[in-house]
Amino acid sequence: MTHTPSAVIILAAGKGTRMKSTKAKILHEIAGRPMVLHALDAVDCLEPQKKIVVVSPDMDEVTRVVVAKDDTVEIVIQPKTLGTGHAVQCAGEALADFSGNVIVLFGDTPLMTAQTLQRFNDLMQSHDVGVIGFRAGNPTGYGRLIRDGSGNIIAIREHKDASADERDIDFCNSGVVGMAGKDFPTLIEALSNDNANGEYYLTDVIEIAASLGLKVGAIECNEEEVLGVNTQAQLSTAEAIYQNRARARAMENGVQMVAPATVYFSHDTVIKSDVLIEPNVVFGPGVYVSSGATIRAFCHIEGALIGKNAIVGPYARLRPGTVLSEAVKVGNFVEIKNAEISKGAKVNHLSYVGDAKVGAAANIGAGTITCNYDGFNKHLTEIGEGAFIGSNSSLVAPVRIGDGAYVGSGSVITKDVNRNALAVGRGKQKNIDGWAETYRSKNVKNKKVAKD
Ligand code: UD1
Ligand code: MG
């Protein structure tokens, strides 16, 4: 089916006071991404010709976040929050030259799926006005979809304005409303604020459309998809739903998880097939895990590229700029930041590798620290191919360890080391035979004297 082009309006001007936060509601994050960007992402499947986000005058930060993600979005300011209908009226001017369908969504419903929006778009091809409804477990507070005797949708009644009979209806308005371009101006101009809230309700367009003899239709979606986030508790519920979806998606793609409920994904996490993720792993933004890799228990990973068959953890922390090539091993209590670790290299125990380049098959011993920061600047440590860094060494950057070189355990390395050389930078060991015996007997004697 060829679809009529559409414009999308995302309403986001509400104050969100129930979040009890200084941050605008729609900037609160799900899987590390502001809610409003989830809504914007979902509508991309409609290939909208215009995208409008309606904000209130004090929402500069929202504007910044939205435009940084997508500079084709038009920001419209609603001077006062006089209702959802008023918010759409404010966007009307930006649509003066637009003749396609107009679809309105809420910025605080971040779980709407592309499939549902596509079904809705299909409905809009044959209807003048459409709405996405859902069966609410508890309909209190939602607008109810009212039908006539033949089942046609003739109105949406807001909870506060509904009669007792109407309140028994559990088919509710999700907030997504669509209008054909030819009817949009008429419908929007006809809205009034003559209701229990004294607000301009967008939902009134249904009754107006029905009275004009326009064709009104609805599709139904899952209640989960239209969860509106108004409180911190609802935010955590939305996060849980998102995470469950992400886990299911990963497993569908061939990722093995021992305890999926304990693994947390970011909105952009990419995990290829045949990756094993053990329990209690958290992925922050910007992670790509290649096939065959194993992420062992209790790892925290962000901004990292993990190569094929690499093994990470348990208890590893990978920070932004980490690139692990094929078959690299990063073990327990190891932190890596802004470092490239080449094929087959090992950093197995208790190390910090930051601002570094590690050559293929190098071995970094337990407790090795790259001293990358002098209090003002960060410096690079380069470790050559096949180099061997003895345990408990400090590599004071900037410093370069040549290919195949050895660093003796416990060294503090401040100067470059040539390839295949040995560097030992520690106090020389001195042994004094019999010293301990003499020391002990002297002290035992003194102690006796003191007691007498
Ligand atoms: C709305 C619907 C209701 C539906 C419910 C679903 C109306 C009148 N009611 O009610 O039928 O069942 O959502 O969750 O539409 N907003 C603005 N400007 C305003 C007012 C609101 O941009 O002046 C934005 C808010 O930021 C929010 C959205 O519109 O993203 C919805 O507003 P809200 O006040 O939460 O509407 P509800 O009372 O929940
Ligand atoms: Mg709401």
Q: Which of the listed residues 176, 209, 226 is the one where a domain comes to its end?
A: 226
Please check whether residues 173 and 103 belong to one and the same domain: yes
CB of 173 sitting under 6 A from ligand 1: yes
Please check whether residues 342 and 222 belong to one and the same domain: no
Per-residue pLDDT tens for 257-313? Answer: 999 999 999 999 999 999 999 999 999 999 999 999 999 999 999 999 999 999 999
Please check whether residues 146 and 254 belong to one and the same domain: no
Place of tokens 């293929």: 360
| Residue 407 CB contacts under 8 Å (≥ 6 apart), including other chains | 387, 388, 389, 390, 393, 395, 401, 413, 417, 422, 423, 424, 425
430 lies in some domain:
no
Which helix (H) or strand (E) segment holds residue 40: the answer is helix 35-43
314 lies in some domain:
yes
Q: List active site positions.
A: 349
Range of the domain at 296: 232-423
Looking at residue 445, its pLDDT comes to: 85
Separation between Cα atoms, residue 350 and residue 371, nearest integer Å: 14
Please check whether residues 222 and 357 belong to one and the same domain: no
**pTM listed for this prediction:** 0.91
Looking at residue 5, its pLDDT comes to: 86
170 lies in some domain:
yes
Ligand 1 atom closest to the Cα of residue 87 is 18
437 lies in some domain:
no
Looking at residue 447, its pLDDT comes to: 78
438 lies in some domain:
no
Please check whether residues 21 and 108 belong to one and the same domain: yes
Please check whether residues 296 and 180 belong to one and the same domain: no
CB of 200 sitting under 6 A from ligand 1: no
Ligand 1 atom closest to the Cα of residue 12 is 26
Backbone angles phi, psi at 178, to 5 degrees: -125, 145
CB of 175 sitting under 6 A from ligand 1: yes
Which helix (H) or strand (E) segment holds residue 43: the answer is helix 35-43
- Give the count of beta carbons closer than 10 Å to the beta carbon of residue 367: 18
Please check whether residues 263 and 219 belong to one and the same domain: no
Residue among 6, 41, 204 at smallest CA distance from 123: 6
CA of 104 to the centre of ligand 2 (A): 14
In the chain, % helix, strand, coil (3-state, to 5) comes to 25, 30, 45
CB of 18 sitting under 6 A from ligand 1: no
Please check whether residues 157 and 236 belong to one and the same domain: no
Return the CATH number at 352. 2.160.10.10
The parts of the chain modelled with pLDDT lower than 50 are none
Please check whether residues 213 and 319 belong to one and the same domain: no
97 lies in some domain:
yes
Q: How many domains, in total, are found in the chain? A: 2
37 lies in some domain:
yes
432 lies in some domain:
no
Ligand 1 atom closest to the Cα of residue 81 is 23
Residue among 44, 27, 62 at smallest CA distance from 235: 27
Looking at residue 379, its pLDDT comes to: 98
The pick from 10, 26, 36, 84 for probing ligand 1's pocket by mutation, whose C-beta has the most ligand atoms within 8 angstroms, reads 84
Please check whether residues 204 and 342 belong to one and the same domain: no
Which residue's CA is the nearest one to ligand 1's atom 8? Answer: 201
Return the CATH number at 28. 3.90.550.10
